[in-house]
Chain A
Amino acid sequence: MLLSMRGIDKSFSGVGVLSAASLEVAQGEAMALVGQNGAGKSTMIKILTGAYSRDAGEIDFRGEPVDFRSTAESQAAGIATIYQEINLAPNRSVAENISLGREPRKFGLLDRATMRADARAVLRRFNLELDVERPLGEFGAATRQLVAIARGVSQNARLVIMDEPTSSLDEREVAVLFDTIRTLKRDGVATIFISHRLGELYAICDRVTIMRDGRTVAVSAMQDISRIELVRAMLGRELTAFTARAHGEARVHEPLVEAKNLAAGLRVRNVSLTIGKGEIAGLAGLLGSGRTETARLIYAADRCDAGSVSVEGRAVAYAEPADAIRDGMGFVSEDRKVEGIVPEMSVRENMTLAILPRLQRSGVVDKQQQGQIVDRYVRALGIKCASAEQPIRELSGGNQQKVLLARWLCMNPRLLIVDEPTRGIDVGAKAEILKLLRSLADDGLGVLMISSELEELIAAADNVTVLSDGCSVALLRAGEITEERLMTAMAHQQEAAA
């Protein structure tokens, strides 16, 4: 075994996070590490890399017992970690990023020629030809990640840990990443692959370690475990989320919002779509196909160059989001942390942020009314929190998302735009969010759901508009929404455009 972690215990201020957890990785294998949020995956990784210390347990790496006290130490020993969002230094060049911390020197000074040559050499191993002198930030998410991997490999990493590496990649980029992992395998470098997307695990991983509540509950070869068994092991209960929703006959929904021939800048070129009352309209497409940008146009967060939006048959021209909100629209952004929650504020404050003006009585917030509204939504949406006064940052991703949904719902919107509503949320909570959106739609709310996860669109949407390269290229109705068709629609036009 390349890596063996046994009997790892860890608690934070008396709360046990890991108890007797274990993880073993063989040389050159891709090991999937899965579990719900809070299962202990990240803690396990942080203990391995030396970011946290362990309370008990043993770690052997390359046959020797180790006890890393910093990420610098574990890196020196041959463990590289590729984080989900934190991606090296964007203003530094590709070559600098690869060599940072152990730059080649000549007479004590930086040897730039060798630095560039080394960078090109290691990138070539992954069939990557880049201008290594350009700042890293000018490249896309996928390239940045590959550079991060190249950095790890150039430091002679024997184990590369990837924490949700695919969450910001589109399907083509994922394919490139998988090629890279195969290259690593061939060179005998092991990978720990953390992902919420089960399909990917089957595509690339050899084995899987499943964690639940701080314990390692199962280890299996990938081909010996079915999806449903895997999910069951993670959740410890039966789960029906991913069995596609039984589509009834295609209902005819009265149109609520119609967008025709929208165009703005380079990202949105010609998009038309309709959202019906009581309908979940899906918006699919690869990253960069203009999904979020389209939603922002409808919501008046950006200006249209061309096209029209009408609500219940009446043409509208909002000047800013405030107008759209007044007209009954809501927008739950894809990035909860940046655009959504105020981490230090309580659940109560976060939920009622948008309706504070309405809660005023003689210039002061009516606490009683506020409390009633908050209680109602905490119960209705099943938000798990100690009390409404708990800071929202202490809630899990799924519950934070519910608070954000509640923020909009208490304004009684007609249309709710949700951008990647289940990003970074564990499987169980995903199903709950989708169920919640469905029941809201059944009550007459129009929902525009942007999603990168095909399974999610199939499970939840009444129809799906597929975007490609800034154009709406297909409309799939109930019964037609399959992985096959979605992917064909996304991919076909892309090639034609390229």
Chain B
Amino acid sequence: MTDLASRLAALGPLAPRSNIDLARLGVVAALILLIVFGALRYDNFLSSYNALSFLRYNSMFALIALGMALVIMTGGIDLSVGGTAALASVVAALFSPYHWAAGLLGGLAAGLAVGVLNGAVITRLRIQPFIGTLAAMLAAYGTALLLAGNQSVSVSYDSGFTEIGQGDFLGFPVPAWIALAAYVAGWVALERHPVGRRVLAIGDGEVTAALMGLKVERTLMGVYAASGLLAGLAGVILASQFGAGQPTEGVGWELFAIASVVVGGTLLTGGVGSIGATLAGALLLAMVFNILNFENGLGWISLSAYWQSVIRGLFLLAVIILQAKIAESRPR
């Protein structure tokens, strides 16, 4: 490992400083390998149609993974993101006839509300994040179903609301721009703003952070609020992209987000994490899905959705084991 690390050091500022950085670089490498593999094996894999719809669809998951990454860096977890997105999609659909911005703000507000509630329950009532956000997930789904009357709610096609999910800007899907902006903001917050240091310090140990005089409760509040807001944003995109608020969507999204974060080298125990690698992790998992679709399209084998899940699961396991091996072999 040391050899490899020192050879990589020749890359200068790009060189990984630690094994965890190396593991993160591995995610990016795996992503590139998959893309090369897909490009060589399938026609149309690199077509702009496939690339753009890939980005359009997966932006939602990338946004949720970003919020999840911040939460996990503090040593917490947010299981409510799928339910929050479903609720936000319904609220956005209900508000969309008035103005596209009303739909957007309505969805964001719904997401923020769940996030703030999570933060309050965790910091004020001292409930474990796992339990607190699990309750919020159930409540969010219930509220979404209530508001939607147990069916999907069609959005308005007249107010321009559907542009948020379906439109393009400078040749790229609007959701991809939104996700990009969110990731840039997330990166600045984590790496270039003092609050990022505090988020990671809390993940290193809440008690210690408090003893160091950090404002733990306020920071945690902000992190859960951010996660809710980003899930709300994903919900808005969901409603806009598919033309309807979907109270039953979002099931399992939290697990996808957690998987992306973990693949991105963020420790579930908190204290260590990277925004860029989280994005790479989310794209990597989505890419596996994309490739499986193409494989089915070749017609040689026909993988049912169940088999696809199994294969994705195995792939995830392989990546995580590989990372653990890399991170374990500490240089001496």
B interface, over-half SS: helix
Binary B-proximity of A188-230 (CB < 8 A = 1, otherwise 0): 0000000000000000000000000000000000000000000
CB distance from B61 to the nearest CB of A (A): 27
Residues of B within 8 A of A87 (CB): 208
> B184 an interface residue at 8 Å Cβ cutoff?
no
CB distance from B115 to the nearest CB of A (A): 24
* CA A70 to CA B212, docked complex, whole Å: 11
CB pair B272–A71 under 8 Å, yes or no, is no
> B12 an interface residue at 8 Å Cβ cutoff?
no
Q: Which of these, B17, B191, B196, B204, contacts A89 with CB under 8 Å?
A: B204
Interface residues of A in 38-85 (CB under 8 A from B): 70-72, 75-76, 81, 83
CB pair B271–A110 under 8 Å, yes or no, is no
Given contacts A105-B194, A108-B193, A109-B192, contact A89 B201 (CB under 8 A): yes
> B325 an interface residue at 8 Å Cβ cutoff?
no
Q: Chain B: which residue is nearest A105 at the CB level?
A: B194
* CA A76 to CA B17, docked complex, whole Å: 34
> B211 an interface residue at 8 Å Cβ cutoff?
yes
> B205 an interface residue at 8 Å Cβ cutoff?
yes
Given contacts A88-B208, A89-B200, A91-B272, contact A109 B188 (CB under 8 A): yes
Binary A-proximity of B54-84 (CB < 8 A = 1, otherwise 0): 0000000000000000000000000000000
Interface residues of A in 259-284 (CB under 8 A from B): none
* CA A109 to CA B200, docked complex, whole Å: 16
Residues of A within 8 A of B17 (CB): 133
CB pair B200–A91 under 8 Å, yes or no, is yes
Q: How large is the interface on A (under 10, 10 to 19, 20 to 34, 35 or more residues)?
A: 20 to 34
Given contacts A86-B205, A86-B207, A90-B204, contact A100 B215 (CB under 8 A): no
* CA A99 to CA B210, docked complex, whole Å: 14
Interface residues of A in 73-128 (CB under 8 A from B): 75-76, 81, 83, 86-92, 96, 99-101, 103, 105, 108-110
Q: Chain B: which residue is nearest A73 at the CB level?
A: B213
CB distance from A137 to the nearest CB of B (A): 9
Q: Which of these, A72, A92, A99, contacts B204 with CB under 8 Å?
A: A92
* CA A92 to CA B204, docked complex, whole Å: 8
CB pair A91–B271 under 8 Å, yes or no, is yes
CB pair A101–B214 under 8 Å, yes or no, is yes
CB pair B204–A76 under 8 Å, yes or no, is no
Binary A-proximity of B236-273 (CB < 8 A = 1, otherwise 0): 00000000000000000000000000000000000110
Interface size counted on chain B using CB atoms at 8 A: 26
Given contacts A101-B198, A103-B197, contact A89 B188 (CB under 8 A): no
CB pair B212–A88 under 8 Å, yes or no, is yes
CB pair B213–A89 under 8 Å, yes or no, is no
> B34 an interface residue at 8 Å Cβ cutoff?
no
Q: Chain B: which residue is nearest A112 at the CB level?
A: B192
Residues of B within 8 A of A101 (CB): 198, 212-214
Q: Which of these, A75, A81, A92, A135, contacts B197 with CB under 8 Å?
A: A92
CB distance from B258 to the nearest CB of A (A): 20
CB distance from B125 to the nearest CB of A (A): 20
* CA A76 to CA B205, docked complex, whole Å: 21
Binary B-proximity of A117-154 (CB < 8 A = 1, otherwise 0): 00000000000000001010000000000000001000
Given contacts A81-B211, A101-B212, contact A109 B272 (CB under 8 A): no
Given contacts A86-B205, A91-B271, A110-B194, contact A75 B200 (CB under 8 A): no
CB pair A71–B271 under 8 Å, yes or no, is no
Most chain B CB within 10 A, of A70, A75, A83, A101, is at A101
CB pair B200–A92 under 8 Å, yes or no, is yes
Given contacts A100-B214, A110-B197, contact A89 B209 (CB under 8 A): yes
Q: Which 7 A-B pairs have the closest CB atoms?
A: A89-B204, A72-B213, A103-B194, A91-B271, A89-B201, A75-B213, A109-B192
Q: Offer 21 A-B interface pairs, CB within 8 angstroms, sorted by A.
A: A72-B214, A72-B215, A75-B213, A76-B213, A83-B211, A86-B207, A88-B208, A89-B271, A90-B205, A91-B203, A91-B204, A92-B197, A92-B200, A92-B201, A100-B198, A100-B209, A100-B212, A101-B214, A108-B193, A133-B17, A151-B212
Query: Residues on A close to B: CB < 8 A?
Result: 70-72, 75-76, 81, 83, 86-92, 96, 99-101, 103, 105, 108-110, 133, 135, 151
Given contacts A71-B210, A105-B194, A109-B192, 9 further A-B pairs with CB under 8 A are A71-B211, A72-B213, A89-B209, A91-B203, A101-B213, A101-B214, A103-B194, A110-B196, A151-B212
